[in-house]
Structure 1
Amino acid sequence: MDLIDTLRSTGSVRDFTDEPVDDAALTRILDTARFAPSGANAQAWRVVVVKDRAIRSRLRDLYLTPWGEYLTLTAAGLRPWSPVNDRDEEAAALAAAADADAVVVGGMAAHLDEVPVLLAVFADLSQLAAVDRDLDRYSLAGGASVYPFAWSILLAARAEGLAGVLTTMLIRAEDEVKQLLGAGDPLVLAAVIALGHPVRQPRRLTRQPVASFTTVDRIDGETFAPDPD
């Protein structure tokens, strides 16, 4: 695929056919993704290809609770688990949904164990240069050495006619996932990636225009735009 078309059409795909993905294709995907940038070229990731049916079923079960919470918080008008959320407001929304027993979880979440490829991506904390570690706010910088690799997996999958989705829901059950997959410290769960042959091939996505998020010199500066000349 053309690079620009790939970048503009690699969205989140959760509906897959029953066609299996062979190990050779997955190896090619990972072989390409490993060239993703990382701090000091540490390549601070580990990947578990989850094939065992019992482990897959347990991951599905662990996935259902946070996904249900995500739907509940979204329905309540909250951005789920935003670092700036009011925790009491979150708790009230979740409690109300629990009382009403209103959340029905379906789709990929209910069938996570059936997706053709299930990858658990771990980050090695000992290899991350988290330059914002000591700031009095939520830390983001360490992820810059891991998530480009995860994104490269999704991009490389397109060359194989595959598509997928990166999900962080299982981080809500990280201790159990680590135990299930034999991951000790300093490894932490960064993402789970589902891949397969899409029911519908992805098309170009819709996103906000550049002018909506780009300014000159300051956040409150003038909108960045090409020189009319």
Structure 2
Amino acid sequence: MELLEALRGTAAIREFTDEPVSNATVYRILDSARFAPSGGNKQGWRVVVVKDPEVRRGMRDLYLPGWRDYRALGEAGLRAWSPLADREAEAAALAREPATDHRAEFALNMDKVPVMLAVFADLNELAAVDRDHDRYTFAGGASVYPFVWNLMLAAREEGLGGVMTTIHIREEEGVRELLKAPDGVALASVVFLGHPVRRPTKLRRASVPEFATFDTFDGSPVTPPDVTDQ
């Protein structure tokens, strides 16, 4: 697959066929994803390929409470768990029962998705340069999430689709116990892969001038260049 096609067409997929995915395919995906960049090339990720049906059901059950909270917050017009959120508004939203939509099918049946990959970060290996800031920190993720995205791109090359999820982090201790994760690691994402029921062809994204400016936040938008600028 051409690189630009993969970059522009790799969508989040939550509906999968029953077609299995071989261990050989999973290995190839991991083998390609491992070339992701990381701080100091420490490659501080660990992956648990969850295959046991009972453990998979346990992962599903740990996901559902967070999923319901996510839906309730969204239905109230809130960005779920935003670092700058109004906590009182969040509490009021969580007191209401969320409606359901088609994506609930994924939450209720995630244990049946062909591939479930729990990605952990080794906290000893993260270059978390914002560790001591008095705001929400995220820089350490730069050493893990490129690997997670590489999983998605490598899966696309194999004809698969998938989604990277983070809601399990709300129940991290339960996941750690279920997967027997040692101290010193933190859950970064759970990735689900399989053969898509359908693959979106037109992804909706903001245009470049909507998010990029020259020199300052209020600078002029980055727009398509004139012919003379090329």
Q: Same-fold call, TM > 0.5?
A: yes
- Aligned partners of 2:130 and 2:139 also within 8 Å: yes
Post-superposition CA distance 1:88-114 (Å, at most 9, x none): 1101111133xxxx4447211000100
Cα deviation, residue 72, structure 1? 0.4
Q: Aligned partners of 2:189, 2:131: CA distance in 1, in Å?
A: 20
Partner of 2:118, secondary structure, is strand
- Where structure 1 has 5 or more consecutive residues not aligned to the other structure, the ranges are none
The DSSP-based 3-state class of the residue aligned with 1:111 is helix
Q: Which residue of the partner structure matches residue 147 of structure 1?
A: 145
Who is 1:215 aligned against?
A: 213
Return the alpha-carbon distance in structure 2 between the equivalents of residues 80 and 184 of structure 1: 29
2:130·2:137 contact (CA, 8 Å) conserved in 1? yes
> Does the aligned pair in 1 maintain the 2:72–2:96 contact within 8 Å?
no
Q: Which whole-Å CA distance do the structure 2 matches of 1:35 and 1:202 have between them? A: 27
Kept in 2, the 8 Å contact 1:116–1:195? The answer is yes
**5 Å matches for 1:23-172?**
23-97=23-97, 102-104=98-100, 106-172=104-170
- Write the deviation string for residues 53-86 of structure 1: whole angstroms up to 9, x where unpaired: 1100011111111001100000001000000001
Maintained 8 Å contact 2:13/2:163:
yes
Q: CA deviation at 1:225?
A: 2.4
Query: CA RMSD of the aligned region, Å?
Result: 1.1
Identity of aligned residues (%): 57
Tell me the residue number matched to 2:179. Answer: 181
Residue in structure 2 matched with residue 199 of structure 1 by the alignment: 197
Aligned AA for 1:161? G
Q: What does the per-residue CA deviation read over 1:15-72, in whole Å, with 9 as the maximum and x for residues that have no partner? A: 0000000010110000000000000000000000000111000111111110011000
1:5/1:204 contact within 8 Å kept: no
CA distance in 2, matches of 1:221, 1:96: 42
Tell me which residue corresponds to 2:13. 13
Q: How does the TM-score come out when normalised to structure 2? A: 0.95
Shifted more, 196-205 versus 170-179: the winner is: 196-205
Q: Structure 2: which 5+ runs fail to align? A: none
Provide the secondary structure at the position in 2 that maps to 1:96. Answer: coil
Count matched residues: 225
Cα distance in 1 for residues equivalent to 2:127 and 2:87: 29
Contact between 2:36 and 2:147, CA under 8 Å: does it hold in 1? yes
